């Protein structure tokens, strides 16, 4: 049982489709909703309309240090609670999310920009799954009883929590990404200090409020909204933080790794893994998968189909079918409209990068077959047309780096060996997909591809939340694995106890 009751007073104004956060009490530290210590605030803007939809607390280093202090104090008792008690708390979180499904989905659409019906509800449902899965995993954390050289001794090996886990998350999946870290961290008996992306802090507060409702002991879960270069930096560098878990760009991940030197790191970073269509592929299936790979969340995913490698013998047929299907089925528009399948990009930096990479590719010889421009008539300058580029080469930036926008960059290849060579030459190694009717050939390709995850006859944006997900060793895509018990293994450590029966 908690040593002192969790405090839920002074909670922020609820996040709904019509009531924005305006209290600026969006820091949750040691069981209390509060404002930034210096009174700083920042505005949340809708990427679809540009209007202000909330005002949030701009926490800083002092607030981060206060949250870490609370988490370090709570870690002494939370890690010793029964796994079944922790599981019950996670089930309460899942139930609250379920009850607030509509409001959470609307908040996600307004704050991040993804279509309400096509995507936002799905992310909320996945959020529920993560907490329910972590609740089950909490009761399955097992140890070992290895033999001793001395027959009078017994050796016990336990999995124990590591302590304070600093969680730093991105704006592209503001529910799913935090859940795949926070849920297993709490399940394993760790305490959490969470710094969400500033760009989607409004819906992060909505999620945090669901966690708060579970009645966790004070200090077990803490939220500090504010700039990552202050809050995240403080979390990464504080010696009381045992684990730094980060999801985001490779560049930021490297800075965090340097700041957190000597700590346990769980890093999920960038990807550029291609979707490969071999000469015997089912073209219709490959085209369907390409659309999901490149246009889900408007292409703003580390597992997006950032490159599409198509065998030259079927290239023309694939391209023709793709252009026709995109023109008929991909609907850019108001993310609250039920007919919309793709919403705006989340921010100007991403929109500008997408615009630059498309223009640079065309200048270097790529052929534009669809889209290629912004579409401000839909409500803001962040709407970007679904885009198809052909004749993409290695000399183009769009082939080498993450675009994070709604673009299909197509390159014709002459063999699967060429595809594997292109994968090998990339700095990334997160996720790859291959299409072929020959499952033996697909499996051989998958085993040879330098990536942490390979899908056969499924797109690059397909994953399952309980499976180990992360980048290949030596790549720029990360370190460690998230996903169910695999995350819990990273967030616990082995403790050995020797008992002398004599």
Q: Do the Cβ atoms of 195 and 201 come closer than 8 Å?
A: no
Indicate which residue of 45, 110, 180, 268 is catalytic.
Answer: 268
> pLDDT-based confidence at 21, cuts 50/70/90?
low
3-class DSSP assignment, residue 194: strand
The reply to whether 242 and 309 lie within a common domain is: no
Strands 478-479 and 264-268: antiparallel
CATH number, domain with residue 437 = 3.40.309.10
The reply to whether 260 and 295 lie within a common domain is: no
The reply to whether 85 and 188 lie within a common domain is: yes
The reply to whether 178 and 283 lie within a common domain is: no
**Domain assignment of residue 501, yes or no:** no
The reply to whether 104 and 178 lie within a common domain is: yes
**Average pLDDT taken over every residue of the chain:** 94
Phi, psi of 409 (to 5 degrees): -95, 110
Which residue carries 């490779």 as its tokens? 250
**Domain assignment of residue 471, yes or no:** no
The reply to whether 333 and 257 lie within a common domain is: no
**Domain assignment of residue 18, yes or no:** no
**Domain assignment of residue 21, yes or no:** no
% of residues, the chain, pLDDT over 70: 95
Q: What is the pLDDT of residue 4?
A: 32
What Rg do the C-alpha atoms of the chain give, in angstroms?
Answer: 23
Strands across the sheet with 387-390, in order?
A: 367-370, 387-390, 407-413, 308-311, 275-277, 431-435, 453-456
> pLDDT-based confidence at 24, cuts 50/70/90?
confident
Q: What is the pLDDT of residue 18?
A: 38
Whether pLDDT at 111 is above 70: yes
When pLDDT is averaged across residues 485-501 and rounded to a whole number, the result is 96
When pLDDT is averaged across residues 131-148 and rounded to a whole number, the result is 97
Q: What is the pLDDT of residue 1?
A: 34
Sign of the torsion angle spanned by Cα atoms 196, 199, 202, 207:
negative
The reply to whether 216 and 102 lie within a common domain is: yes
C-alpha span between 380 and 345 (Å, rounded): 10
When pLDDT is averaged across residues 252-259 and rounded to a whole number, the result is 95
Whether pLDDT at 13 is above 70: no
The reply to whether 428 and 487 lie within a common domain is: no
First and final C-alpha spacing in the chain: 36
**Domain assignment of residue 338, yes or no:** yes
- Six token digits for residue 12: 């922020």
**Domain assignment of residue 491, yes or no:** yes
C-alpha span between 478 and 471 (Å, rounded): 5
Measuring CA to CA, which residue among 403, 307, 295, 304 is closest to residue 350?
403
What pLDDT, in 10s, does the model give residues 35-44? 999 999 999 9
The domain tally of the chain equals 2
DSSP state of 107: H
Q: What is the pLDDT of residue 3?
A: 36
Question: What residues have CB less than 8 Å from 285, skipping those under 6 apart?
Answer: 435, 457
**Domain assignment of residue 12, yes or no:** no
CATH number, domain with residue 239 = 3.40.605.10
C-alpha span between 390 and 411 (Å, rounded): 6
> pLDDT-based confidence at 23, cuts 50/70/90?
low
The distance from CA 350 to its chain's CA centroid, rounded to whole angstroms, is 16
> pLDDT-based confidence at 459, cuts 50/70/90?
very high
The reply to whether 293 and 258 lie within a common domain is: no
For the whole model, what pTM was predicted?
0.94
Alpha-carbon dihedral angle through residues 353, 356, 362, 363, given to the nearest 10 degrees? -140
The reply to whether 356 and 491 lie within a common domain is: no
Q: What is the pLDDT of residue 273?
A: 80
The reply to whether 406 and 448 lie within a common domain is: yes
Whether pLDDT at 7 is above 60: no
Whether pLDDT at 290 is above 90: yes
Active site residue 284: no
Active site residue 302: yes
C-alpha span between 84 and 86 (Å, rounded): 5
**Domain assignment of residue 334, yes or no:** yes
pLDDT top residue among 5 and 368: 368
Q: What is the pLDDT of residue 100?
A: 98
> pLDDT-based confidence at 22, cuts 50/70/90?
low
By residue range, what is the domain housing residue 361?
A: 275-465
The reply to whether 62 and 166 lie within a common domain is: yes
Indicate which residue of 119, 203, 302, 416 is catalytic.
Answer: 302
Q: Across-strand partners of 115?
A: none
């Amino acid at each position: 049982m908690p040593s002192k009751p969790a405090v839920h007073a002074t909670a922020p104004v609820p996040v709904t489709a019509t009531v924005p956060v305006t209290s600026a009490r969006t820091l949750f530290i040691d069981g209390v909703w509060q404002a930034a210590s210096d009174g700083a605030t920042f505005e949340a803007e809708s990427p679809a309309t540009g209007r202000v939809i909330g005002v949030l607390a701009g926490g800083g280093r002092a607030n981060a240090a206060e949250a870490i202090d609370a988490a370090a104090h709570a870690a002494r008792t939370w890690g010793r609670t029964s796994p079944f008690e922790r599981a019950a708390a996670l089930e309460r979180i899942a139930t609250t999310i379920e009850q607030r499904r509509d409001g959470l989905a609307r908040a996600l659409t307004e704050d991040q920009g993804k279509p309400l019906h096509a995507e936002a509800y799905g992310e909320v449902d996945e959020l529920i799954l993560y907490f329910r899965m972590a609740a089950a995993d909490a009761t399955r954390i097992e140890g070992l009883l290895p033999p001793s050289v001395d027959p009078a001794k017994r050796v016990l090996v336990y999995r124990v929590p590591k302590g304070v886990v600093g969680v730093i998350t991105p704006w592209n999946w503001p529910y799913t990404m935090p859940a795949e870290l926070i849920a297993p961290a709490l399940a394993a008996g760790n305490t959490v200090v969470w710094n969400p992306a500033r760009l989607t802090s409004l819906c992060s507060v909505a999620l945090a409020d669901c966690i708060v409702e579970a009645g966790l002991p004070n200090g077990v879960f803490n939220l500090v909204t504010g700039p990552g270069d202050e809050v995240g930096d403080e979390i990464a560098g504080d010696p009381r933080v045992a684990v730094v878990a980060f999801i985001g760009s490779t560049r930021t991940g490297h800075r965090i790794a340097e700041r957190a030197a000597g700590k346990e790191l769980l890093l999920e970073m960038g990807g550029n893994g291609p979707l490969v269509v071999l000469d015997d592929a089912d073209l219709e299936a490959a085209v369907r998968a390409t659309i999901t790979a490149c246009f889900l969340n408007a292409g703003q995913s580390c597992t997006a189909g950032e490159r599409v490698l198509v065998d030259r013998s079927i290239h023309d047929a694939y391209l023709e079918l793709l252009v026709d299907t995109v023109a008929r089925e991909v609907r850019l528009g108001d993310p609250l409209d039920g007919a919309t399948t793709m919403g705006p990009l989340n921010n100007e930096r991403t929109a500008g990068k997408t615009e630059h990479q498309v223009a640079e590719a065309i200048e270097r010889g790529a052929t534009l077959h669809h889209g290629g421009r912004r579409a401000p008539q839909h409500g803001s300058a962040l709407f970007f047309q679904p885009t198809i580029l052909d004749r993409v080469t290695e000399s183009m930036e769009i082939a080498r780096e993450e675009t994070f926008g709604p673009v299909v960059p197509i390159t014709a290849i002459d063999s699967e060996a060429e595809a594997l060579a292109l994968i090998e030459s990339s700095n990334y190694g997160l996720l790859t997909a291959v299409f072929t009717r020959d499952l033996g050939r697909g499996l051989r390709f998958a085993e040879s591809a330098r990536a942490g995850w390979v899908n056969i006859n499924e797109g690059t944006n397909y994953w399952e939340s309980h499976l180990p997900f992360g980048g290949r060793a030596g790549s720029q895509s990360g370190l460690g694995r998230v996903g169910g018990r695999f995350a819990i293994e990273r967030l616990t450590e082995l403790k050995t106890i020797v008992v002398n029966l004599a």
